[in-house]
Structure 1
């Protein structure tokens, strides 16, 4: 009989072998419990964890929630299951365990993640890399795949690197799925609902470097090199054509009145030269202390703007000061003197911060009036000839947001994927909404725009179509639920639906938290292979050990206790 690993003091099971994962699945099935596996916790908490025990509180539905819910359900962390094996070093073929991080994860609670044991670095030192990466590389390989994460490119995708993966179903049976198999397109992106990924086989790409620039332009048509809201003209491509022509890109749009600018990050591939002196992309100040202070000030700004009461703001800023102290101590090498310096500097900044927060929360109108000036200071327009140029290794700068601290710059969002052909229509709609709705529509943060290459994975929001992806940012300390019926995100979901712009949503980010039957119906009709996926889910998870109330509400419009069979429920949902 297979031996289950012990439950850790942190509430997670930490398997070290494939047999231990199978044993955990068998335990869940035998005891009628749920089982879910977390990666780097870069997804919303309820998307990755089990339901809490009866009478236990729900986790806040936020990213970077490091602790599982209370109760007897099984939550698994793969920090002890993260090996990389070279199957064919000359051809760049590897097999990795599910818990390996793509890059270094600075928020790993077990502190087992390092640059050296990451997938990207081990590939790099052997002359290989992945074809594309997301904005960060904290994720585990299984978490990246299961949630349908993607980089900003219409030319390249991590899909081309995936050769196969092994998955343990709800009965504890292990099966390999290889590219070309009938159900391969279902299991690669399956939200953890078809089983637990154990291993992934990858065909890596030959190493390349990236070369690029970042420039901040006004959005006014005369000053912007891209026709953001039109069909383009000679010498000025439409936004859709720009996305098609640029190997890797992302655009940050600050649409607020008197701010109105876009930050264009773009890069292309170059040969990996034998003698190379990299100049990495720097999202914040190059000096680590200056960068941390800049991010702390940004945290203070957005927390003040997103809340209405002084004491609420001050309480919400406590984790930011704690994180700043930790980062400062770390940058000084640790030890007694580093702790003293970090404590003193943080104390001084707390006093200054307290005064600033008290002043600006007392005179909130002044903060709003100064907002354009502050953003111009944080994100100034680029003077001609002063673009930020960079050339770097793929693992280091292609994930352009790795420099943003997840606590100081706590960012949550809904990510909307629309057909690339609807780019102009969508951009005109958003421009109109932002101008008419002002801060109620723009918020105080930026909106991220980038592309996604079409995919053959059944549940991919890019299934069989290239897409424009729109991320409406929400600072994590803001008051209110942005996914509620009257929340910040609902205005965009409803407007796109009313304008008949079809869209799909990133599964790991905010989904509508209202009218669950109606939205389940809308979502189900967006995926041509939806019925096939649900039939396979019912077959591979007959006891619903991978299904939680969170996923049942979003997929079927009701909690799982109210389900008949999944397919019967699906038929009901389709009629809504």
Structure 2
């Protein structure tokens, strides 16, 4: 199936591939790679840099969406690489199962989110990649490789940046379905968040704070997603913040039509853990995104860095989301070996100005141990990334072993891996 090459979701990158195809199964992926000198996989196109671009063949995963298969005994589900999390979640809910977490958008594809270390929120919940129990991919040589948790290469291969091959299937951990009630609180003092950070993020199963930094000493909104089967009671107060009386959108001035229900109305995990509902596109893509994952014990310092640069940040910013992620052992995971806090910036589509601000932000955040999200805009060069990601050289060696002819290399990986 041949497609239009087009742009990424945000429209800030036009792909430079010679052509794009959409294989429907492993055999078609293998055939597509035969004799190709350069190739990359692309999923829902929700990356903001050139990680998925190539000078050769772009392989879309949009048709790698065969019906998920649940293994109730092992508590896993096997899904096609191009399956959107929202669609997978709906399938699991019908069968009485759940994923432990979801990202803000249910529209993103399983393999793409995992390959870049994308995450949701929760003190004791890892990134989406941490739920991977097994990974299947096709190498440039046409070999189908399956790696399972515990295999020698597994921890290096899950967050792969697309450097090892074309992922065709992913097996994820699941658990029995559960319900979530979502509450929003307004105008939490920044100093309260810094001083009582652990208490704020422990107030729910998943907690996200949002601010525009237009009022630098105030966090605009805190979204608390409370698991109904939890031992702790439903939150009715959050320090000095006001409980919201209407549903909110994270962006000021936007209607909540595209957002998941709030005001404590309980619903299935798949309908509450994302901030946005699958039936709506939360925006037209008219935005840019950046995220830095900061070691949890440095979050106070990191928030002060952003506050001190609010004068430069706020005019370019739509919203900044602050949320926690539990640590894991995946080599290129932004939460590798430590619990982290994500500082996620949704910018206006003014890329040259945003890129200049990123240099100053990174000057303050990288010395704190912050790690850039692989699929978003950042300024860090390879040496800075080696300091942030201590297993980067090990991953480079792993990529050389699986892709010695550099079929899956592109300009992005050349910058990252050398």
TM-score by length of 1: 0.62
Give the C-alpha shift of residue 87 in structure 1: 4.9
1:462 CA displacement: 0.5
CA contact (8 A) 2:204 2:227 kept: no
Correspondence 1:77-88 to 2 at 5 A: 77-88=60-71
How far apart are the structure 1 equivalents of 2:219 and 2:390? 38
Offset of residue 393 of structure 1: 1.2
Which residue of the other structure, out of 133, 157, 160, is the alignment partner of 1:163?
A: 133
The residue number in structure 1 matching 2:153 is 183
Measured in 2, the distance between the counterparts of 1:251 and 1:520 equals 31
- The 3-state SS of whatever aligns with 2:352 is coil
SS at match of 2:90: helix
Q: Shift in Å at residue 217 of structure 1?
A: 1.4
Which structure has more helix as a fraction of its residues?
A: 1
2: CA distance, partners of 1:553 / 1:264: 37
Report how far residue 270 of structure 1 moved.
Answer: 2.0
Please say if residues 130 and 328 of structure 2, whose CA atoms lie closer than 8 Å, have aligned partners that are also in contact. no
1:228 and 2:193 are equivalent in the alignment: yes
Question: How far does residue 549 in structure 1 lie from its aligned partner after superposition?
Answer: 1.0
**CA deviation vs aligned residue, 1:438-491 (integer Å, no higher than 9, x gap):** 2x2322532211111101110011101000111122122x363522xxx12222
Residue 37 of structure 2 is aligned to residue 41 of structure 1: no
Question: C-alpha root-mean-square deviation of aligned residues, in Å?
Answer: 2.7
Distance 1:398 1:45, change over 3 A: same
1:239 aligns with 2:204: no
SS of 2:305's partner is helix
Q: How far, CA to CA, are the matches of 2:130 and 2:160 in structure 1?
A: 18
| In 1: Cα distance, 2:108 partner to 2:186 partner | 28
Change in CA separation of 1:480 and 1:506 when aligned onto 2, cut-off 3 Å = same
TM-superposition CA deviations, 1:141-181 (whole Å, max 9, x none): 11111111011112123455321011212222111100011
Query: Residues 493 and 264 from structure 1, CA distance in 2 versus in 1: closer, same or farther, beyond 3 angstroms?
Result: same
How many pairs align?
A: 382
Match of 1:134 among 103, 106, 109: 103
SS in 1 for 2:34: helix
Secondary structure of 2:85's counterpart equals coil
CA contact (8 A) 2:78 2:171 kept: yes
Which residue is equivalent to 2:170? 200
Work out whether residues 185 and 457 of structure 1, in 8 Å CA contact, stay in contact via their aligned partners in 2.
yes
> How do 1:101-116 residues align onto structure 2 when only pairs under 5 Å count?
101-103=84-86
Residue 22 of structure 1 is matched in structure 2 by 30
Determine the structure 2 residue equivalent to 1:308.
Answer: none
User: Which whole-Å CA distance do the structure 1 matches of 2:394 and 2:190 have between them?
Assistant: 47
> Structure 1 residue 14: deviation in Å?
1.4
Mapping 1:22-101, distance limit 5 Å: 22-28=30-36, 32=37, 34-51=38-55, 73-89=56-72, 92-101=75-84
Encode CA deviations 1:480-537: one digit per residue, 9 max, x unaligned: 3522xxx12222111224xx3111110000021xxx7xx2101112223222211111
SS in 1 for 2:168: strand
Q: Per-residue displacement from partner, 1:32-52 (whole Å, max 9, x unpaired)? A: 2x111111111125111213x
Aligned partner of residue 275 in structure 2, secondary structure: coil
Higher mean alpha-carbon deviation, 194-203 vs 129-138, is at 194-203
Higher normalized strand content (fraction of residues): 2
The match for 2:339 is 466
Residue pair 2:68, 2:88 contacting (<8 A) in 1 also: no
2:365 aligned residue: 496
Check the 8 A contact 1:248/1:268 in 2, yes or no.
Answer: yes
Pair 94,188 (structure 1): closer, same or farther in 2 beyond 3 Å: same
Instruction: Output aligned runs, 1:552-567, within 5 Å.
Output: 552-556=414-418
Once the two structures are superposed, what CA deviation does each residue of 1:210-263 show, in whole Å capped at 9, x if it has no partner? 112001115365xxxxx123x3xxxxxx12442245320110013214994420
- 1:529 has 2:391 as partner: yes
Aligned residue in 2 for 1:354: none
The 3-state SS of whatever aligns with 1:136 is coil
Asked if structure 1 preserves the Cα contact closer than 8 Å seen for 2:213 and 2:313, the reply is: no
- In 2 relative to 1, CA 433–44 (structure 1 residues): closer, same or farther, beyond 3 Å? closer
List alignment gaps of at least 5 residues for structure 1.
1-5, 52-72, 104-117, 222-226, 232-237, 273-280, 285-294, 299-374, 380-386, 557-576
Deviation of 1:207 after TM superposition, in Å, equals: 0.2
CA contact (8 A) 1:246 1:267 kept: yes
**TM-score when scaled to structure 2?**
0.84
- Distance (Å, rounded) in 2 between the aligned partners of 1:447 and 1:100: 28
The alpha-carbon distance between structure 1 residues 140 and 445, as it changes in their structure 2 partners (threshold 3 A), is closer
Q: What residue is the counterpart of 2:272 in the other structure? A: 397
On the 8 A contact 2:44/2:62 being kept in 1, the answer is no
Q: Which residue of 1 aligns with 2:305?
A: 429
Q: 1:472 to 1:159 in 2, by over 3 A?
A: closer
8 Å CA contact retained: 1:161, 1:205: no
Contact in 1 for aligned 2:115/2:129 (Cα 8 Å):
no
- Structure 2: any 5+ residue segments left out of the alignment? 6-18, 231-245, 256-261
Kindly state the Cα deviation for residue 126 of structure 1 after the two structures are TM-superposed.
Answer: 0.2
Pair 1:254-2:212 in alignment: yes
Q: Is the 2:288–2:351 contact (alpha carbons within 8 Å) kept by the matching residues of 1?
A: no
Shift of 1:409: 6.2
